[in-house]
Structure 1
Amino acid sequence: MQEYGIQIERSVLSSILFDPSRFEEISTKIDSKDFSYLPHRHIFEALKELHRLDLPLDEEFIVKKETPERPIDREELLYILGTNPISSIEAYVNEIKDRSIKRELHRLANTIREYSQKEELESEQILDHLESELYKISQDNENRDFKEAKEVTLATLEHIKKMKERGNTILIGVDTGFKELNKMTTGFGHGDLVIVAARPAMGKTTFVLNMAQKALDTGKGVAIFSLEMPAEQLMLRMLSAKTSISLQNLRVGNLQDEEWERLSRASDEMAKKPLFVDDNSSLTINQLRSKLRKLKSRHPEVGMAIIDYLQLMSGTGSRDRHLEVSEISRGLKMLARELEIPIIALSQLNRSLESRSDRRPMLSDLRESGAIEQDADIILFVYREAVYKMKDEKEKEEQAKKEGKEYRSNFVNKNEEEAEIIIGKQRNGPIGTVKLIFHKHCTRFVDFDKEVEIVFEEGKFDTNEAKIEMASI
């Protein structure tokens, strides 16, 4: 059987040397590590380098690419040149790939046996490691300790060329859904851990759902882990934002005929989107990793994950909470890099910021801020001054009642409010503030200069409805 496998590999390599135009297609299906015979791996690596440099894929140039770490077996090269090329090569390529995966699975089986005998390892740690290895096998990732300078340089140049082909566009990552935020961040990068933090009632869940909607509208899949809110409530908010129908009216089914038509169209559209929601209120970092890996493996179109929210997650043991949060944030960052998608995690802020005269949040206001601040690539704060103004007016009114005085407020509760997205940290870009407009009735943030249909007139937004909205944002 071993000789049979070597002969298949020779046939594939011979076909490449006979017709070099085949190499590009073949190299998208197999890599050097998929060859079982070491001399074949070295020859395929040489072919890869020649192809990158746009040099001829022939015997003479293969020999020129020999290095001490990558010797070229001349005798084996003669065997390959003497092997008849085949016209229908796909079955042979698939056979090489299949054998490679089986070898990896055999290696993993030995790892399972070895790890299961280690008393110092907990079962959850073993499962997490094995799931990670299995995901790498299924995604055909090449697990190496180092990348050589040549490989990194060529990959970087290739990336720059791709950006040039896109016309020097501002957006190079996942679209945030907001024009000015895209300018500041160039979009969320693959592998980024993005923290969205705010005090309660500021609209952080609404903000990330608006981002999720944009991703869905551009064809990307979105995974949402909602530890605080049932999936149906999330969908109500997304439908409210999409249709401009009041969230409160959607909740009670108080809709006009035209609104029912809008809702029906939006529902049909949303039902076809690659949106995946896990609303289990109890979730550990290991469970999240396992679920997201499986989802990404089954649905490669998933391009963003959202966790609402970080402080409700638990680690792998009952340790100090700061250590637990550190484990969670580090785990999320590593998972984002592994799956090559941005992971957006919501976070609560310390209550102490409300005692300041300027209640705009800063990095030190993050709960367990040390680990979160260190691991995050981008930290965004959601801030709405009107929330505090309403709260202050309410407190003044209650205080006046206690003193038997009459209090007349000048505060006008508007349907539209200015909002600020404060970029508190950005590993690869500037920090600063982006202004948005928040629509209360349909829980939606929009660009500051964007014209969107407004259902309610300013100043006529019902106060009781405002209380309901604020309590659940």
Structure 2
Amino acid sequence: MNLYNLDIERGILSAILLDGKIYEDVASILKPSDFYLPFHQAVFETMEELYKKDLPIDEVFLKEALKKKNKFDDELFLEIIGTAPIEAVESYAKELKDLATKRELIHLSNEIKKIVLEEDKRAIEEVEEIQSKLFHIATSNLSGDFKIAENVITDTLEFIKKQAAKKNKIVTGLDTGFIELNRMTSGFGEGDLIIIAARPSMGKTAFALNIALNVVKQDKGVAIFSLEMPAEQLMLRMMSAYAKIPLQDLRRGNLSDEEWSKLSEVADDLSNRPLFVDDEGNINIHTIRAKLRKLKAQNPNLSLAIIDYLQLISSDQRERHLAIAEISRSLKLLARELQIPIIALSQLNRALESRPNKRPMLSDLRESGAIEQDADIIMFIYRDDVYKAMEARQKQKEALEKGKSVEIEFKEKEIEDAEIIIGKQRNGPTGTVEMLFNKKYTLFTDKVSAVNEVEPTEANIEVPSTLE
């Protein structure tokens, strides 16, 4: 099988010489390297130069320009002039593009061998380099034409009609499972990078896992990269929230017969859900990208990826702010490429704890510049009772050191108020979503529905278990 067609190449170039306006149509599809014969490449490249200078693309100007560059070949030029111009230029140009793409794939296959055998790199870096080259070939074959307003408006109206036909008119993106959060965000959009940030013990991991659980219950695929804890611990939290069995009881295996039965049902259900967990601790952005691309290809239903957490992704960059910038930008591009929302958890600076009002703001993000720029949505988790408990313990400690007794006014609750503060939203409002957090099950719930189900109970203060 020939991977080139010189007759078509000559016919297209002849058509442009006959009518210079045709160049614009061909140039929107082909580039000089898409021609197989080097002389044909030089001719098309020179046509481009004449076009940019607003000079006629005809035999006289083209011949003179080629001679100035010492790229003129009289015999090959006469072959072009003597070829009958092609009429359906765009169709033949696309055929040439297809042949050129196949030649690039053959070249890449040879280059893969060279990369693997000659370059002194780790295998994962070689895979990433090969994937990048393949992705470049794939995207270079796409049309880069502007969309005219009429077509964009038609597509937009179709989108609005589809949304109007949905039963749940609030959610236009991925349903988070939280009513008020959906109301504020309209769900997570395809290609969105969502940052969930908080100080330790606020419940970042719990909140992300709650969202993951809500999504897989819709039979939509979720991938979780757990860089901080083993997959089994992560699954304990998810099963605790789903079955509403206290996490501590699950960890100890201290369950009643009824709870064992409930756990078995939850385990069977989750086993049949499209949930994928990767708990490789030392992982870089290249590996994450390669794994998600592969998973998406194998499971087109993949609808969400979660990374716990951003600062644990390894990087070759020595400067940490440069590393975070590279990681956040790569995650945003990956979300767009795979057309799924990606949630990345992030730590906050300690600085906020020195303020009277400890509610987080964008400036509290570690390496906030890059993250703030790349993220479509930035959410903070804040639970005031965490700080009240810390203050109460500190007072108690200071009193004991002085040999005094102190009455603790603050009583720790089993179910606490929680705030999801939307500090940035590229396509929607900012504000606060009020929720409740059940520490026993590591479960966030909408405040109104949760109040109707369970009334908060009070207990004597004790050091809470780490939630993240």
Query: Aligning the two structures, in what range does the TM-score lie when normalised by the shorter sequence?
Result: 0.7 to 0.9
Structure 2 residue 72 is matched with structure 1 residue 73: no
Deviations 1:3-41 (A, max 9, x none): 9x9xxxxxxxxxxxxxxxxxxxxxxxxxx99xxxx9xxx
Q: In the TM superposition, what is the alpha-carbon distance from 1:107 to its structure 2 partner?
A: 1.7
Q: Which residue of 2 aligns with 1:444?
A: 443
- What is aligned with 1:275? 275
The range that moved more, 167-176 or 303-312, is 167-176
Structure 1 residues 310-321: aligned runs within 5 Å:
310-315=310-315, 317-321=316-320
Kindly provide the amino acid, as one letter, of the partner of residue 342 in structure 2.
I
1:108 maps onto 2:105 in alignment: yes
- 2:128 corresponds to which residue? 128
Cα deviation code 1:375-400 (max 9, x no counterpart):
00000000000000000000011111
Give unmatched runs, 5+ long, in structure 1. 6-31, 39-70, 78-96
Distance 1:120 1:323 in 2: 26
Contact 1:332 1:343 in 2 (8 A): yes
SS at match of 1:472: coil
Q: Which is greater in Rg?
A: 2
Aligned length: 384
CA deviations 1:153-203 (Å, max 9, x no partner) are 443333223223326811000011111110110000000000000000000
Deviations 1:234-263 (A, max 9, x none): 110111001111000000000011111100
Change in 2 beyond 3 A, CA 1:136/1:159: farther
Amino acid paired to 1:73: A
Q: Does the 8 Å contact 2:104/2:137 carry over to 1? A: no
What TM-score, normalized to structure 1? 0.73
* CA shift for structure 1 position 459: 1.7
Match of 2:42 in 1: none
Matching residue of 1:240? 240
* Aligned-residue CA RMSD (Å): 3.5
Q: Does 1:472 align with 2:464?
A: no
**Counterparts of 1:168 and 1:448, CA distance in 2:** 20
The Cα of 1:101 is off from its aligned counterpart by: 9.1
Does the alignment pair 1:163 with 2:163?
Answer: yes
Quickly say closer, same or farther: Cα 1:457–1:325, change in 2 above 3 A: closer
Q: How does 1:186-197 map to 2 (within 5 A)?
A: 186-197=186-197
1:370 aligns with 2:362: no
Report the alpha carbon displacement of residue 109 of structure 1 after superposing the two structures with TM.
Answer: 3.9
Distance in 2 between the 1:134 and 1:385 partners? 50
Deviations 1:273-293 (A, max 9, x none): 110000011110111100110
Q: Whole-Å Cα distance in 2 between the matches of residues 234 and 431 of structure 1?
A: 30
Distance 1:187 1:266 in 2: 26
In structure 2, C-alpha distance between the alignment counterparts of 1:405 and 1:128, rounded to whole Å = 63
Q: Equivalences for 1:405-416 in 2 at 5 Å?
A: 405-416=404-415
SS at structure 1 position matched to 2:464: helix
Structure 2 CA distance for aligned equivalents of residues 148 and 356 of structure 1 = 50
Task: Report how far residue 102 of structure 1 moved.
Answer: 9.5
Corresponding residue SS for 1:219: coil
What is the TM-score when the length of structure 2 is the normalising length?
0.74
Take 1:213 and 1:137, find their aligned partners in 2: how far apart are those partners?
A: 37
Q: 2:197–2:204: 8 Å Cα contact kept in structure 1?
A: yes
Check 1:152–1:399 CA distance in 2 against 1; reply closer, same or farther (3 A cut): same
Percent identity reads 50
Secondary structure of 2:306's partner? strand
The residue matched to 2:300 in structure 1 has which SS?
coil
- Report the Cα distance in structure 2 between the residues aligned to 1:314 and 1:112, rounded to whole angstroms: 30
The residue number in structure 2 matching 1:331 is: 330
**Partner residue in 1 for 2:200:** 200
The AA in structure 2 aligned to 1:368 is E
